[in-house]
Amino acid sequence: MPDRRTVTRCALARVCGVCEEPLGRPIVFVGDADEDARNTFHQPPMHESCAQGILAAAGPDAVLVRTGGFEFVRPGRDDADPLPRFEPNSRL
Ligand SMILES: [Zn+2]
């Protein structure tokens, strides 16, 4: 899991969490089944090709989601989830 600063930088600059080059479309997120069900991902957005390496390393339960865009959500003070996170909008 990348550190919080990296996550925030990728979110605000809209660069890939792996190679740090600008993101195009689709934007890809990798997470687990729980993140998939909540439509909330903690790893930064990635290129499709970069995400494949993360997906392979993450194990058999990992999920890959493609989207055209996302919301970056910073946790609130009383948030049950204390981490900054990403919510894909329309999935591709
Ligand atoms: Zn990349």
Whose tokens are 């605000």? That residue is 12
Cα–Cα dist 81/25, whole Å: 28
Spans in the chain with pLDDT lower than 70: 1
**Full domain range(s) for residue 10:** 4-88
Distance 78 CA to ligand 1 centre (A): 33
Number of domain units in the chain: 1
Residue 48: alpha-carbon gap to chain centroid? 12
Query: Cis bond leading into 2, ω under 30°?
Result: no
| Residues 57/50, Cβ–Cβ less than 8 Å | no
Tell me what pLDDT residue 3 has: 83
Tell me what pLDDT residue 1 has: 60
Cα–Cα dist 34/87, whole Å: 13
Distance 52 CA to ligand 1 centre (A): 10
Q: Which residues surround ligand 1, an ion (CB under 5 A)?
A: 16, 18-19, 47, 50
Tell me what pLDDT residue 18 has: 94
